[in-house]
Amino acid sequence: MDDNALNGKLCCAILKDRYQVFTAATTEEGLKSAKRILLVAALDGSDNKTKGLEAGADDFLNKPVHTAELKAKVKSLLRLKSYSDQLKARSHAMGMLLNPFSSDETLFELRLPSLLTVEDSPADAKQIKENASTRSTQIIVVAFLQDIESKIKGFEFGVDDYLVKPINFNEFRARVNSLIKKKAYHDRLMANFEVAVQSAITDKLTGAYNNGYFQHYLKNELKRAERHAYPISLLMLDIDDFKIVNDRHGHLAGDKLLKEIAEKLRQNMREIDVLARFGGDEFAIVLPYTQKEDAAAIAERIRVLFENCAVAVNDHVSLNISMSIGVAGFVPGVDALQDVIQKADKALYTAKFAGKNKVVSAAEGSSVDSLMN
């Protein structure tokens, strides 16, 4: 906000001690520490708002400040941050699965053109080539270098080609065309690699993540939840009497049923939630930033969704199905990965034994064995 001390005190009073309020005089280091920026100023007109947003603000609020509006804007920005953090965490988890020895620094995205011309400084190529996200950028160094040793050193830094000043335009164009072809070939290889990676972590039948990726992701997510003190819950879902579907209608109908169920689950999840096929006709959903009580409500909504709809398994047959669902919350400092999975799984089978088509939550502090007694 602006430098009016009274406005700063007003926002501090409204937001209590949970947030930081910066003024126009705040140091650059202070602003960099801000997770989301809400611009509060006495500016009117779309041009001023556009300038503020282009300068890095996430939202805009005109004075005089109304308490309800300010709180609503702040809550909206915090939800945006939690979603953004979760998507980054998922991207990081996939990166670590593919390259467990990479550091956080090698995963950040630096946006550069596909081909870069560097003048007089081959060493600039080193940082670009060492970063995983920019490694494929083709680099031409334009310099007065004549000695072979300097060129060799540049190639060791990752330079793809050299042009010695003064530049011949025809030679420059030919070298650029050659590097563009090289980049296109590299991109095709990377696209094929990404398809292979996606195939390795995805269940081919349903399109959900497979059990291996689910275990890897949940392990990392539980660590983050404990470190940053946010709740996380797990749903385990099982199709009631799925064997009867296979026996009566055949395995192709059973496969179609699994695909349809996975698609309906995806349509009724948040973007930050993770759906996996745990095995057979059992699915798992990871719910970050979700208390167990809220997860139970989500589970009940899913149960009712399937109870009230028919799922087509072929051109002539639609089946009414039901689901049993187990719910477990993560208890920091107590639960390990397998504890959370087993609690949700045991709660699921408790629902099965209680008559199916039910949602059962694991009791807080309960042992895994006690859920079956």
**What pLDDT score was predicted for residue 183?**
75
Distance CA 325, CA 284 (A): 9
> Rounded to whole angstroms, how far apart are CA atoms 221 and 288?
8
Residue of 76 and 206 predicted with greater confidence: 206
Q: Do the two domains 109-201 and 211-372 of this chain adopt the same fold?
A: no
* Of the candidate ranges 86-90, 284-288, 340-344, the one whose mean pLDDT is the lowest: 86-90
pLDDT of res. 143: 72
Task: Say what the pLDDT of residue 30 is.
Answer: 46
Rounded mean pLDDT of 272-283? Answer: 94
Predicted local distance difference test score (pLDDT) of residue 231: 92
Higher pLDDT, 320 or 140: 320
The SS3 call for residue 56 is: coil
What homologous superfamily is domain 109-201 in, according to CATH? Answer: Response regulator (3.40.50.2300)
> How many other C-beta atoms are found inside a 10 Å radius of the C-beta of residue 286?
24
Residue 107 is predicted with a pLDDT of 34
Angle at which helices 67-98 and 169-201 cross, to 10°: 90
Instruction: Taking residues 354-373, report their average pLDDT.
Output: 69
What's the whole-number mean pLDDT along residues 133-151? 70
- Measured distance CA(16)–CA(1) in Å, rounded: 17
Question: Could you tell me the residue ranges of all domains in the chain?
Answer: 5-94, 109-201, 211-372
**pLDDT class for 237, splitting at 50, 70, 90?**
very high
Architecture of 211-372 per CATH? 2-Layer Sandwich (3.30)
pTM of the entire structure?
0.57
Mean pLDDT for the chain overall: 75
Strands (E), 17-83: 38-41, 59-62
For residue 269, name the pLDDT band (cuts at 50, 70, 90): very high
pLDDT value for 2: 45
pLDDT at residue number 196: 73
Mean pLDDT of 167-185: 75
Place of tokens 């164009």: 173
pLDDT top residue among 22 and 85 = 85
- Residues near 340 by beta carbon (within 8 Å), at least 6 away in sequence: 218, 222, 234, 328, 330
pLDDT at 306: 92
**Residues near 304 by Cβ (< 8 Å), separated by ≥ 6?**
none
Q: What is the pLDDT of residues 288-302, one digit of tens each?
A: 999 999 999 999 999
- Say how many CA atoms lie within 13 Å of 118 toward its Cβ: 23
The structural architecture, per CATH, of the domain 5-94 is 3-Layer(aba) Sandwich (3.40)
Dihedral angle sign, alpha carbons of residues 358, 361, 363, 366: positive
Tokens of 98: 């593919």
- Portion of the chain with pLDDT greater than 70, in percent: 59
CB neighbourhood size of 245 (10 A) = 22
**Any idea what DSSP says for residue 75?**
H
pLDDT in tens, 14-66: 444 444 544 444 444 544 445 566 666 665 554 555 566 556 666 656 666 66
| Residue 127: predicted pLDDT | 72
Mean pLDDT in residue range 226-237: 93
- Quote the tokens at residue 227: 């470190």
Instruction: Kindly tell me if the per-residue pLDDT of 226 is higher than 60.
Output: yes
